[in-house]
Structure 1
Amino acid sequence: MLMYPQIDPVAFSIGPVKVHWYGIMYLIGFASAWALSLRRCKKPYSPINSTQVSDVIFYAALGVIIGGRVGYMLFYDFKNFITHPWIIFQVWDGGMSFHGGLIGVVIAIMLFCRKHKRNVFDVLDFLAPMVPIGLGAGRLGNFINGELWGRVTDSPIGMVFPTGGPLPRYPSQLLELFLEGICLFIILWVLSKKQRPRLFISAQFLLWYGIFRFIAEFFRQPDPQMGYMLFNWMTMGQLLSLPMIISGLLILLYVSMHTRNTKELSCNNT
């Protein structure tokens, strides 16, 4: 059995203000996305230039924070939110929904593209490879907080979490860091090294995140207020990931057919 490292969720304090590791993880995610965006925007097919990078990251950050928190309240903690609506502002305690954050980012990028007159699908394709860094950092923040731990296990990798009872559990946060953070980043970064058809990268993101999250949910303890949603084994995370997998496959099919038809039309015209 592995020992859970006792890490204070508060990184440091400045007077009465406590800076939590969870918040620092979000800052790392946004800063990394900004740095990589500055690198990616130098490519000739980039939909934004270097002067627009800070603007698009700002819009995306608002989408992540607002959408993630609202999504968590709606998808995972609606009853508690109705009776204690002020908890929506307590982001330092955790409780962010990726699926809500994704919706928030899409809406935010639509507003950005409307302002700068850019194609929203091109900008989403541009940003998708940077998202896994923030996801991985967020999962590390979950681990430090000792939250979202896994199901009870007798395997050698089990850990006893301070808030998870006396039995060892899977460190599912680290599994999600590996799958949704490291693996997803490598896949998207490699695929985006050359110009791809519009929506291709976004579809790959939807597909692979959905698959990785669906797998990770088998090791993660369902949220106590939700439990299992279907068939006594399917969780809310899996239910929300299924549309992502299906959408990713359908978009890839559309992109493939559109690309093939375009090539055939080009050949017929020559």
Structure 2
Amino acid sequence: MNPLLYIPWQPDEYLLRIGSGGVRWYGLCWAMGLAGGYLLMQWLYKRHKYPREKFEPLFLYVFVSIIIGARLGHCLFYEPDYYFSSFQHIIEIVLPIRYISGWEWKYVGLQGLASHGGVAGLLIGVWMYISRSGMKPWVVLDFFGLCSCITGAFIRLGNLMNSEIIGKVTDVPWAFIFYDVDTYPRHPGQLYEALAYTVFFFLIFAIYLKRPEKVGTGLYFGLCVSSVFIFRFFIEYTKEIQVAFEAGLPFDMGQLLSLPLIAFGLYSVFRSRGKIEPESKI
């Protein structure tokens, strides 16, 4: 394979270096995705005339629950043998470090976040928020359905900048050569997902602008979850397996974890049929 025919990819993991550390592209993409979701969510609360005090605690619940869920999801679903093999590795679950030998360690940042775990964490955080705020559950879930795709797109761009979650070897003309991994042209699966989630965001938001009264019926949450994870299920066929044990499975872990979310999303769309959110706000 002639490497000149494909897209070379080896960006610096840091946007800005400060001493031995700095601002990583991955962290910046996460921050931009969460900030975009935050601003859009704030706009939705205001547009639907929910008081500011109902919105203010939401971000803390969501931010903490997504990070914890995504981190635990990666450790439990993808690398349990590593993270639960010693006390030092258990510490790595919660601290941004990697042990080298004994108690010698280095700072590596928070690496290893699973989107399925993040969704599970999000649902737990939303449940805690709803139980304290008195907001209607399906209103909050629909708001997240309108915001989440754009956040997911930025997170996948972060994966692209990290040259992680790479695709299988291919000869398509838009293949990337991830030089931090090897010299084979591969599907840019992260880019596929980022583009798809961006398209889903605009399509769902266009439907919302025509039918804002459907907020609270589950329609927008269902459209978001089902479209994202149906796409995720099929795009996995272009990706390399992330851990060795997936090689013996009929479906990889990402596909298996997508199935219940697809079912939940389709149920949400189905239950929204013929429903309109009443004027009552809480």
**TM class by smaller structure:** 0.7 to 0.9
Percent same amino acid among aligned pairs? 28
Q: Are the structure 2 counterparts of residues 104 and 30 from structure 1 closer, same or farther at C-alpha, using a change threshold of 3 Å?
A: same
Alignment partner of 1:158 is 2:158:
no
Residue aligned with 1:166, SS:
coil
Unaligned runs of 5+ in 1: 263-270
Alignment partner of 1:21 is 2:25:
yes
Match of 2:201 in 1: 185
CA distance in 2, matches of 1:229, 1:17: 39
Q: Which moved more, 1:145-154 or 1:200-209?
A: 200-209
**1:125-204 to 2 correspondences below 5 Å:** 125-179=142-196, 181-193=197-209, 194-196=212-214, 197-204=216-223
Q: Which moved more, 1:8-17 or 1:203-212?
A: 8-17
Instruction: State whether residues 20 and 92 of structure 1, in contact with CA within 8 Å, keep that contact through their aligned partners in structure 2.
Output: no
CA distance in 2, matches of 1:67, 1:125: 20
Amino acid in the other structure paired with 1:11: L
Match of 2:238 in 1: 219
Match of 1:207 in 2: 226
CA distance in 2, matches of 1:100, 1:35: 23
TM-score, with length taken from structure 2: 0.83
CA distance in 1, matches of 2:47, 2:224: 20
Task: Spell out, residue by residue over 1:156-178, the C-alpha distance to the aligned partner (whole angstroms, 9 max, x if none).
Answer: 12222123322111111100111
Q: Which moved more, 1:210-219 or 1:187-196?
A: 187-196
Match of 1:267 in 2: none
CA distance in 1, matches of 2:26, 2:60: 19
Q: Are the structure 2 counterparts of residues 167 and 124 from structure 1 closer, same or farther at C-alpha, using a change threshold of 3 Å?
A: same
**1:1-270 to 2 correspondences below 5 Å:** 1-44=5-48, 48-83=50-85, 84-88=89-93, 89-90=95-96, 92=109, 94-179=111-196, 181-193=197-209, 194-196=212-214, 197-228=216-247, 230-231=249-250, 234-256=251-273, 259=275
Instruction: State whether residues 157 and 190 of structure 2, in contact with CA within 8 Å, keep that contact through their aligned partners in structure 1.
Output: yes
CA distance in 1, matches of 2:158, 2:270: 36
Instruction: State whether residues 9 and 176 of structure 2, in contact with CA within 8 Å, keep that contact through their aligned partners in structure 1.
Output: no
Instruction: State whether residues 59 and 112 of structure 1, in contact with CA within 8 Å, keep that contact through their aligned partners in structure 2.
Output: yes
Instruction: State whether residues 169 and 186 of structure 2, in contact with CA within 8 Å, keep that contact through their aligned partners in structure 1.
Output: yes
| Bigger relative contact order, structure 1 or 2 (CA pairs below 8 A, ≥6 apart) | 2
Q: Are the structure 2 counterparts of residues 253 and 3 from structure 1 closer, same or farther at C-alpha, using a change threshold of 3 Å?
A: closer
Instruction: State whether residues 73 and 118 of structure 2, in contact with CA within 8 Å, keep that contact through their aligned partners in structure 1.
Output: yes
CA distance in 1, matches of 2:26, 2:248: 28
Residue aligned with 1:195, SS:
helix
Q: Are the structure 2 counterparts of residues 254 and 120 from structure 1 closer, same or farther at C-alpha, using a change threshold of 3 Å?
A: closer
**CA displacement at 1:96 relative to structure 2:** 0.8
Amino acid in the other structure paired with 1:139: R
Q: Which moved more, 1:220-229 or 1:25-34?
A: 220-229
Unaligned runs of 5+ in 2: 97-107, 278-282
CA distance in 2, matches of 1:252, 1:64: 23
Q: What is the number of equivalent residue pairs in this alignment?
A: 255
Task: Spell out, residue by residue over 1:21-66, the C-alpha distance to the aligned partner (whole angstroms, 9 max, x if none).
Answer: 111111101111121122212223x5x4334434212211111111
